[in-house]
Amino acid sequence: MQDVKITLKAARINKNLTGEQAAKALGISYATLRVWEKNPEKIRMGWRKAISEVYEMPEECILFAKN
């Protein structure tokens, strides 16, 4: 069985957050979040844990690379 991963944007939407809400919860600008959603490979390791906590989803389930 293959592990299922979803995009950063899909994880945010599943949590029912707007881009602005997610950015505020993470303490980043909306512009930064947009860059990350388009280029998830640019996200540093330390931010991955924060994202997983805000989105209430394990890091292993979020695709932190271009699909």
The per-residue pLDDT for range 16-44, each reduced to its tens digit, is: 999 999 999 999 999 999 999 999 999 99
Report pLDDT for 3.
Answer: 74
Distance between first and last Cα of the chain: 19
Report pLDDT for 44.
Answer: 93
Share of the chain above pLDDT 90, in %: 88
pTM greater than 0.75: yes
CATH of domain 8-61: 1.10.260.40
- Nearest alpha carbon to residue 17 among 44, 51, 61: 51
Q: Centre a 10 Å sphere on the Cβ of residue 48 and count the other Cβ atoms it contains.
A: 15
d(C-alpha 13, C-alpha 55), whole Å: 9
What are the sequence ranges of the domains in the chain? 8-61
